[in-house]
Amino acid sequence: MTKTLPLRIDHQGMPAIHLRSPDGAEAIMLEYGGHVVSWKPANGVERLYMSPQAIFKDGVPVRGGMPVIFPQFGQRGPLQGHGFARRMNWQLVDARIGEDYAIANLRLTESAATLKLWPHEFSLEVTVNITGARLDVELEVSNTGNEPFEFTAALHTYLAVREVEECGIEGLRGQSCLDTLTNKEFREAKNPLTIDQEVDRIYYDTQKPLMLNEPHRGLVIQSENMPDTVVWNPWEQRCAELVDMPKDGFRRMICIEAAAIHQPVKLLPGGEWWGRQTLMGLD
């Protein structure tokens, strides 16, 4: 049996939804950006990185958690970096708790503000489902207008790590990727991939599960229908330039992002698309 709960809370001065599954898993989502800002599996240990200097203010993207990137990844188009979805207030559609899960669904649709930036009618939904050691975040896009449109999208997941230089990402060897720092494409030779400098890459068509290993724990990362994986760490110099990151913040995070970038998604009127990222803690 499921029941609807009043899960609304205030988080850093913003309306949010606090999900708590009966098995102990927890997540917090802001209505601003449809943004997951915290995920604790049932063992109670936070798995998402949130910058202690993150700014919670309308119009400013939140540095950490899981920003929703839509309808433009990065600077690949005329919009502001990473599009507008992370800078808009979304509507709560549904939040429920079940026997061993909790789920919430938020929606963003076109408004005068979005139409000014991007002249398309759309529905963008994010659904977050937590149970035990698992988090599923699903994006759904519908073209509710009369003209086709194209978009790129990502779940820009900031993962919390004890020390980035202790981490290894398994599962990328052999994958083609674009190094966006040099604008060169190459095939990944490393397994595991370790991080000891600035990294900003788009791995194409990564359909296999990835593992983020730390000496004391692991995380399985899977995506469906989001064929690309972005790996980002700003390292020391770039991090120092980010006003919303502490000096050593780059050591505590790594972004592993499920994305659809290389082949933009085309939707005809009435067309629908979905993509999902699943994280599973192994502690």
* Catalytically annotated residues: 156, 257
Instruction: Look at residues 67, 245, 48 and name the one whose alpha carbon lies nearest to residue 153.
Output: 67
Q: Which of 230, 254, 258, 279 binds ligand TA6 (CB under 6 A)?
A: 230
Q: Which of 34, 74, 83, 171 binds ligand TA6 (CB under 6 A)?
A: 74
126: tokens are 């994010």
In this complex, which beta carbon is closest to ligand TA6, that of residue 188 or of residue 200? 200
Give the number of residues written for the chain.
283
In this complex, which beta carbon is closest to ligand TA6, that of residue 53 or of residue 144? 53
Residue number of the CB closest to ligand TA6 reads 232
Contact in structure between 69 and 153 (CB atoms under 8 Å): yes
Query: Closest approach of Cβ 91 to ligand TA6, in Å?
Result: 23
Site size for ligand TA6 (CB under 6 A): 10
Contact in structure between 109 and 132 (CB atoms under 8 Å): no
* Dist. CA 19–CA 75, nearest whole Å: 33
Residue 154, Cβ density class (10 Å: 0-12 exposed, 13-18 middle, ≥19 buried): buried
* Dist. CA 89–CA 85, nearest whole Å: 8
In this complex, which beta carbon is closest to ligand TA6, that of residue 25 or of residue 37? 37
* Site membership for ligand TA6, residue 257 (CB under 6 A): yes
- Tokens 């606090």, located at residue: 18
- Tokens 């519908």, located at residue: 142
Q: Which of 31, 136, 188, 200 binds ligand TA6 (CB under 6 A)?
A: 200
DSSP single-letter state for residue 67: P
DSSP single-letter state for residue 244: T
* Site membership for ligand TA6, residue 156 (CB under 6 A): yes
Q: Is the peptide bond before 71 cis (omega within 30 degrees of 0)?
A: yes
Alpha-helix runs per DSSP H in the chain = 112-117, 235-241
Query: Closest approach of Cβ 177 to ligand TA6, in Å?
Result: 13
In this complex, which beta carbon is closest to ligand TA6, that of residue 73 or of residue 101? 73
* Site membership for ligand TA6, residue 81 (CB under 6 A): yes
* Site membership for ligand TA6, residue 103 (CB under 6 A): no
* Site membership for ligand TA6, residue 87 (CB under 6 A): no
132: tokens are 């035990």
Query: Closest approach of Cβ 57 to ligand TA6, in Å?
Result: 14
* Site membership for ligand TA6, residue 61 (CB under 6 A): yes
* Dist. CA 184–CA 194, nearest whole Å: 19
In this complex, which beta carbon is closest to ligand TA6, that of residue 40 or of residue 82? 82
Q: Which of 39, 118, 158, 232 binds ligand TA6 (CB under 6 A)?
A: 232
Q: Given the rule CB under 6 A, which of 28-36, 74-82, 164-172, 209-217 is the region that contacts ligand TA6?
A: 74-82
Residue type, 165: E
Contact positions vs ligand TA6 (CB under 6 A)? 61, 74, 81-82, 156, 200, 230, 232, 255, 257
